[in-house]
Structure 1
Amino acid sequence: MIVRIMGEGQVRLADGHLAELNKLDDELLAEIEKGDGPGFRRTLGALLSKVRELGVPLPDNSLEPSELILPAPEATLEEVRDLLTDGGLIPG
């Protein structure tokens, strides 16, 4: 699967990593619902770091269709809330 981190680029991520990422996504969703700004910031950073760690960066000149788009690291709680679906940022 191709994942885009807004403002950074794309990485190729094996589908097998989605369960691990979904745990962080669930935490992020709970923190957004509670309005927990510091927890949100910490978990968003952890989620993006995990995607970078597990993914293989695509070349900057590559433009693959992204199956998943994640917010930029500096995104606000309100901006991320607007990106959410019923299941969070990551499907599944």
Structure 2
Amino acid sequence: MSIVSFDQLPFVVTVAGRLQPWTPFRTNDYQVDCNTGRLYFSQLHSLMTATDNPVHLSRVLQAQVEVGRWEGIEIGFAQAMSEALLAN
């Protein structure tokens, strides 16, 4: 399935009519969660490229700060983002 909108990303959910941009599935297995975070960034990056909309990243980063957790998923996400930045 191709992701064509922000709300289709696997870490974005709607609760009581309100979009929650960072609600990742956590296994509490560091390596699995790092890999999931990397996948989540890859999906977000693909959507931003396809829609030419960098604002999606700001929405996710703000939500990550609000959630207040820095674990495997966030670390994998940040690592994949860093690698994407250096690739350009």
Instruction: Assess same fold via TM > 0.5.
Output: no
TM-score by length of 2: 0.39
Say which structure, 1 or 2, has more relative contact order (CA 8 Å, 6+ apart): 1
More helix by share: 2
TM-score by length of 1: 0.38
More strand by share: 1
